[in-house]
Amino acid sequence: MGHNALIVIAKYPEKESVKTRLKGLIPDDKRVELYVSLLNQTMRKLGKIPGVDTFIAFAPESTGDYFSRFNVRLIPLQDGDLGTGMFHAFREVFNAGYEKAALVGADIPDISPRIILEAFNALSGSDLVYGPAKDGGYYLVGMRKLIREVFEEVTWSSEKTLEESLYQARRHGYSVALTETLNDIDTIDDAIRAGLLDVEGDRC
What is the model's pTM? 0.91
Domain ranges of the chain: 4-193
Fold (CATH) for 4-193 = Spore Coat Polysaccharide Biosynthesis Protein SpsA; Chain A (3.90.550)
Single-letter amino acid code for the residue at 188: I
Mean pLDDT of the region 95-116: 95
Higher-pLDDT residue of 90, 27: 90
Mean pLDDT, residues 142-166: 96
C-alpha triplet 75, 15, 184: angle, nearest 5°: 65
197 has pLDDT over 80: no
Name the pairing type of β-strands 52-59 and 73-76. parallel
pLDDT at 43 over 60: yes
pLDDT tens by residue, 44-102: 999 999 999 999 999 999 999 999 999 999 999 988 899 999 999 999 999 999 999 99
C-beta of residue 119 within 8 angstroms of C-beta of residue 102: yes
pLDDT at 202 exceeding the cut of 70: no
